[in-house]
Amino acid sequence: MATYTWYNGGPGIQHHIPGEAPYRANISLPNLMAGTGNLLANTSNVQQSLTSGFTAADILQVFEVKKGFVLTPLVGAYVTTTEGDTCTADIGNSSATQTHRLASNPDGYMGTFNLNSAVAQITLIADEDLGGSTYQGVVFITDGTIDITFGHNTDAAVFDVFACGFQCFYG
């Protein structure tokens, strides 16, 4: 299991166009493996190559979120190129300190989306994953990340992922 982030990344710049998700990204495994487009790094910002794709249990910190962001209960993915074999992933957070829940929840935002099905897959965050103090969304109390945890090896999928929400305060 390895944890990846974007090389020379940082807190995501939210999209402010009305009607668009504030966090969205296109993830192309063939481009990542070829070293074109976005490049990967480890959590110390040392560039990493992805020669054979992601393996089961690998984590991609897809969005770096600022303290004070409220992730509303809507997260989704749209697969444009399927993996070609059984392949699933989860969206959540791997840190026990970044949200108001003070617990890690790797599949809490979108559990088990299928990278071998070329469809839009949208989920509402379940009440139990929002925490007892709010049913409006997950509040980031420190700078944090929204993570994809791969359930199977993947090297061919191309997909978009998005997270809806808003910045309610700055720390």
Instruction: Quote the number of domains for the chain.
Output: 1
Which residues are CB-neighbours of 128 under 8 A, at least 6 positions away? none
- pTM here? 0.91
Q: Which two tokens stand for residue 148?
A: 């994809």
The whole domain housing 136 covers 3-167
Q: What is the pLDDT of residues 25-62, one digit of tens each?
A: 999 999 999 988 788 999 898 999 888 999 999 999 99
What average pLDDT does this structure show over 9-25?
75
Q: What is the pLDDT of residues 126-153, one digit of tens each?
A: 766 666 555 678 889 999 999 999 999 9
